[in-house]
Chain A
Amino acid sequence: DTGVSQDPRHKITKRGQNVTFRCDPISEHNRLYWYRQTLGQGPEFLTYFQNEAQLEKSRLLSDRFSAERPKGSFSTLEIQRTEQGDSAMYLCASSPDRVNEQFFGPGTRLTVL
């Protein structure tokens, strides 16, 4: 399967713990996006990268959230000191340059107890 992959698929954590999610984009896609989706809602943009450069961050991305794409390939999204309100599906998407279509991964479902 050469689609976008995300790991883990599910994560249950206790409030106050740190969690890290990984996204592997489609090979040679230089743009990578993170979204958050709560139950019954549409995805909300968090941040995106072109290669290793983080080009835009949503105000939804509080100081507890950090994303990296160190070598322009895979990306990680870390949430520090998790809160119950962080419970959501975290989606990753990628796209090739100069193509306005995003290919989504299966998501990581986070539950904060």
Chain B
Amino acid sequence: AQTVTQSQPEMSVQEAETVTLSCTYDTSESDYYLFWYKQPPSRQMILVIRQEAYKQQNATENRFSVNFQKAAKSFSLKISDSQLGDAAMYFCGYGGTSYGKLTFGQGTILTVHP
């Protein structure tokens, strides 16, 4: 079974600065997908960024980028130029290639200070 671990229950960052959220996972599969989802308070989860395991190039979406280390089974999220609207719970997720369930970590609460 796949597992996802987020070891940082809480993180904080000053507005306009950069923060990195950590995620490790365990799987015996060679091909899979990794995700970062954002869940603002009392709002629904939205996808921030997605990485296909077969791609060596790290995914980037505007201010959000990942550091994907397949051998180390590590998948961190870097948020550059942090904004107040980035404050939320962030979940790292793992998905197989059969378009089935996602397995999520415990989440990291990100606070952005003005």
A contact residues vs B (CB 8 Å cutoff): 3-4, 31, 33, 35, 40-45, 48, 55-56, 58, 91, 95, 97-107
B contact residues vs A (CB 8 Å cutoff): 4, 6, 33, 35, 37, 43-47, 50, 91, 93, 95, 97, 99-107
List the A residue with the shortest CB-CB distance to B97. A100
List the A residue with the shortest CB-CB distance to B50. A101
Classify the secondary structure of A's interface with B: loop
Interface contact A40-B100, CB-CB below 8 Å: no
List the B residue with the shortest CB-CB distance to A98. B99
Interface contact A40-B46, CB-CB below 8 Å: no
**5 new A-B pairs (CB below 8 Å) besides A40-B106, A44-B104?**
A42-B106, A48-B101, A95-B99, A97-B99, A100-B95
- In the complex, A41→B44 CA distance in Å? 14
Interface contact A41-B107, CB-CB below 8 Å: yes
